[in-house]
Structures are given as structure tokens and as C-alpha cells.
Amino acid sequence: MLRRIIGVALVLQMLCAVALAADPALRDLQAAGLVEPTSLDASLVLDIRYATENNFTGKRVYPSARCFLRADVARRLTAVQAELRGQGLGLKIYDCYRPFSVQEAFWGIMPDERYVGKPERKDGVIVKSSRHNRGAAVDVTLVDAKGKELAMPTGYDDFTEKAHRNSVVATPEARRNSLALERAMQAQGFEPLPTEWWHFDGAGWQGFEPLDLPLPAER
């Protein structure tokens, strides 16, 4: 029995090694310390908008609908999910790590620092970036036990003051849901962005360097 278990483990290691070799983008992200939070908690719902045309650019920007975050940020996110699960709720993820080159493209479309972190390079070195480029920010909303989105002040990527956390034009239900999401995220050290109800920076984001590593293909 022990030999059989060891044999299975070796086969799994070989398959993992083959997968990494076949996708250098995945290998590079993992080497940089990024993980997929869904590998820690499969109940997290993904709706990675930039892997679709359903986003403010109207184009598919990412090659895959996968979420990568710094390991500590991912663990904190799964802690939020565990707490929400006890309330019959959960998280849906819109965006996670974003390559710096994508940030540059977004800035070309929406050059407004209230909504898009201004990307800057100096002598080829990234000197200013979004928290998303560090793998330390996540865009999320709340869903019920069946995966249905709860009402929020606006849709995702609404670049108007209606999406601001201090907006008073949302319905009472939407404001309650937004506040519930904010409190759950803050309990695990996430910092809410004032101008976007969906955006949260992970604790210690300053300690992570910005990256311009490409995202891997679909599994």
C-alpha cells in the first residue's frame, strides 16, 4: 500500500512538472509568489471580466479567466469567504493580478486616477503602478448561497460618483450590501478604495513589487 501511495504521488509530481513546463507564464507567476485563491477555497466564484468583452474596454484583455494573488492576500480572501459562508453568502471575484502592460492600456482609455492607477516607467523600470499590478488588490462583490449577485450601488467598473463609497444615491438595500462587504473585507485587513465599492487593497500591499508577467492560458 505504501509503495502504491508513493507511486501515485510521484506520478502527480511528474504531471505537475509537465504542466508548469508547458505553461511558462504559470511557472513565472508561481515563482513570483502568486497563487490562485480558488485552489485554497473552490467555493469562490470567478467572473473575471477582463477575460470577456463585458468590461469598460469592450474587448477581451486577459487570455484566461483566472485569478492570481500574493499568497498572504489570497489567504486573507479565503478567510473572508469562510466568514461569509456562515452567513449564507460568498464572494464573486471580478479582477485580481493585472499585468503592468494591461494597466498602461487601461490608462490610455481612462486616464483618471480616481478609477485607474497611473502607470509610470523610468528608464524601463516600473516606478508607479496599480495595486492590482502587485497582485495585492482584488475586485469583488457579494453573492447568495446560490451564487446570485446581491444588489450593489452600481455595476462593476462604473466610473461615476455613484460607485463611490460615500454615495447616497444607491438604494438602502444596495448600501447595506456594500457596507456588509466592506466590513467583511476590512476584518481581514483589506483597505477599501473610496471611489470603487468593489476594490480592496490587501494588507501590506506596499511590500510587493509591481509585475508585468503575462497571465497563463486556460487550464
For the beta carbon of residue 213, count every other beta carbon within 10 angstroms.
21
In total, the chain counts a number of residues equal to: 219
Let me know if residue 49 belongs to a domain. yes
Q: At a CB cut-off of 8 Å and minimum separation 6, what does 80 contact? A: 91, 184, 185, 187, 188, 190
- Residues 104 and 177 reside in one and the same domain: yes
- Residues 166 and 141 reside in one and the same domain: yes
What pLDDT shows up at residue 83? 98
- CB 212, CB 190: distance < 8 Å: no
Q: Which three cell numbers stand for residue 33?
A: 509568489
Let me know if residue 92 belongs to a domain. yes
- Residues 187 and 82 reside in one and the same domain: yes
What pLDDT shows up at residue 18? 43
- Residues 23 and 39 reside in one and the same domain: no
What pLDDT shows up at residue 3? 53
What mean pLDDT, rounded, does the chain reach? 92
Q: Over the stretch 4-34, which tens digit does the pLDDT of each residue have?
A: 544 444 444 444 444 445 699 999 999 999 9
Task: Please state the rounded mean pLDDT for residues 46-73.
Answer: 97
Let me know if residue 56 belongs to a domain. yes
What pLDDT shows up at residue 17? 46
What pLDDT shows up at residue 219? 84
- Residues 109 and 173 reside in one and the same domain: yes
Confidence of residue 78 (pLDDT cuts 50, 70, 90): very high
- Residues 116 and 151 reside in one and the same domain: yes
How far is residue 219's CA from residue 212's CA, in Å, rounded to a whole number? 21
Let me know if residue 63 belongs to a domain. yes
pTM, entire model: 0.88
What pLDDT shows up at residue 8? 44
Task: Please state the rounded mean pLDDT for residues 114-129.
Answer: 93
Q: Is the pLDDT of residue 56 over 80?
A: yes
Let me know if residue 71 belongs to a domain. yes
Let me know if residue 120 belongs to a domain. yes
Q: Is 113 a catalytic residue?
A: no
- Residues 99 and 14 reside in one and the same domain: no
- Residues 198 and 119 reside in one and the same domain: yes
- Residues 134 and 163 reside in one and the same domain: yes
- Residues 57 and 134 reside in one and the same domain: yes
Q: Over the stretch 154-164, which tens digit does the pLDDT of each residue have?
A: 999 999 999 99
- Residues 26 and 38 reside in one and the same domain: no
Backbone φ, ψ for residue 60 (5° rounding): -80, 120
Let me know if residue 215 belongs to a domain. no
- CB 63, CB 216: distance < 8 Å: yes
Let me know if residue 219 belongs to a domain. no
Number of domains composing the chain = 2
Quick one: what percent of the chain has pLDDT higher than 90?
88
Task: Please state the rounded mean pLDDT for residues 99-128.
Answer: 94
Residue 167 domain boundaries: 34-207
- Residues 94 and 113 reside in one and the same domain: yes
What is the Cβ-side half-sphere exposure of residue 87, based on CA atoms within 13 angstroms? 15
What pLDDT shows up at residue 12? 42
Which of 53, 104, 196, 209 is an active site residue? 196
